[in-house]
Amino acid sequence: MNILVTGATGFVGRRLCARLQKSQGYNLTSAVRRPGSNAPGSEVVIHEMDGQTNWQYALMDQHVVIHTAARAHIMNDEVADPLAEYRRVNVDGTINLARQAAGAGVRRLIYISSIKVNGEQTPAGCPFRAEDAAAPADPYGVSKLESEIQLQRLAKDTGMEVVIIRPSLVYGPGAKGNFATMVRLVAKGLPLPLGSIRNRRSLLALDNLVDLIVTCISHPNAANQTFLAADGEDLSTTELLRGVANAMGIPSRLLPVPAGLLQFGAGLLGKKALAQRLLGSLQVDIEHTRKCLNWTPPLTVEQGLRHCFEIRQD
C-alpha cells in the first residue's frame, strides 16, 4: 500500500513515518518543506502549504494520505490576523490537498485535527464525547473545525474516505509547548505550588497516537468517522508532575497550595489562561474510538512518560 505522509519531519509525522517504514506492506512517501530532511521513505519537497500548492507529483499512485502538517497552535501569536493565517494553511491548504487527492484516486485521507475543536475545558467528570457539538474557543480550533466540515463535504461529493482524529495533549520525546515547559520546571528541582490540584486532564502518548493512525489506515470501520484520542487515563496536574518526576528518576517538589489561591493570584498577574491549563479540567471519552476500531491504547500513561526519557537517553 502506498502512503503519503505530510508534515513528515514534525513531532507526529517523524514518529509515524519511522513506524510505517518498519512495518511490512507500506511504501512510504514523506512530504517535507526542505530537501535533505532525512525523512524516512521517498522524499517529496512541498515548500509551502496553502490553497495553491501543487500536490500532483506527490499524490501519484498513492492509496492513503495521512495529513499531519498544519500551522500549529501558537501562544501569543504576533501575526496581525491569526485566524486568517490559520485558515490559509489549515483550511485552504488542507482542502486543496484533499481535492487533489480525490482527483488522483486516493482511497482514504486521515486528517489529524485537534481536541480544541470540542473546546478548551470540561467540568470534572463530564468528558468530551465524539457526538458532542463542536465549540472551538480560539482561531486554531476554529480553523480545524472548518477544515473538518469541508473534508466531510468533500467525502460525500467524491467518495474518498475521510478519517478525522482529534488528539488531546500529545506528549513524547521531543514534545514542545506546555509539556516541555513542565519537564523543564520539574528537571530544575524547584518547589512548585501545584501539590493540591484535583483537576482531571486527558493526555495522549505519541506512540498511542501513532498506533491509532496506523489502525485507521485500513480498518473498514474507520471510514468517514471522527475519533477522539487519549490514553484512557485522566490525571490531575499534581499527578502528572509526580509522574514526570518519577519517569525522570528525580523527586517531585510540590507544595500543597490551594487551587483557589493560585487562581486568585493568576488573575492578579494577568495569567488566567495559564491558570486554566494548570488548574482546569479537559477530559476526553474514547469509548467510541475503542468500540468502533476495537482499539486499546498500547501504552499506559506511566509507560508513555517513562518512554519519553528512556528514548532521550539512548
Active site (catalytic) residues: 140
User: DSSP labels for 74-106?
Assistant: -TT--SS-HHHHHIIIIIIIHHHHHHHHHHTT-
Cell of 221: 470501520
Residues 202/171, Cβ–Cβ less than 8 Å: no
Please tell me the distance from the alpha carbon of residue 149 to that of residue 82, in angstroms, as a whole number: 20
* CA triple 47-48-49, angle to 5 deg: 135
**Which one-letter amino acid corresponds to residue 215?**
T
3-state helix vs strand vs coil in the chain, percent to 5: 45, 15, 40
- Which sign, positive or negative, has the C-alpha torsion 33, 38, 39, 42? positive
Distances (CA, A) of 14 to 29, 153, 207: 12, 29, 11
Query: How far apart (Å, rounded) are the C-alpha atoms in residues 118 and 285?
Result: 12
Report which of 174, 164, 162 is spatially closest to residue 113, judged by C-alpha positions: 164
144's CB contacts (< 8 A; 6+ apart) are 70, 90, 113, 114, 116, 117, 136
Provide the CA 198 distance to its chain's centre, in angstroms: 24
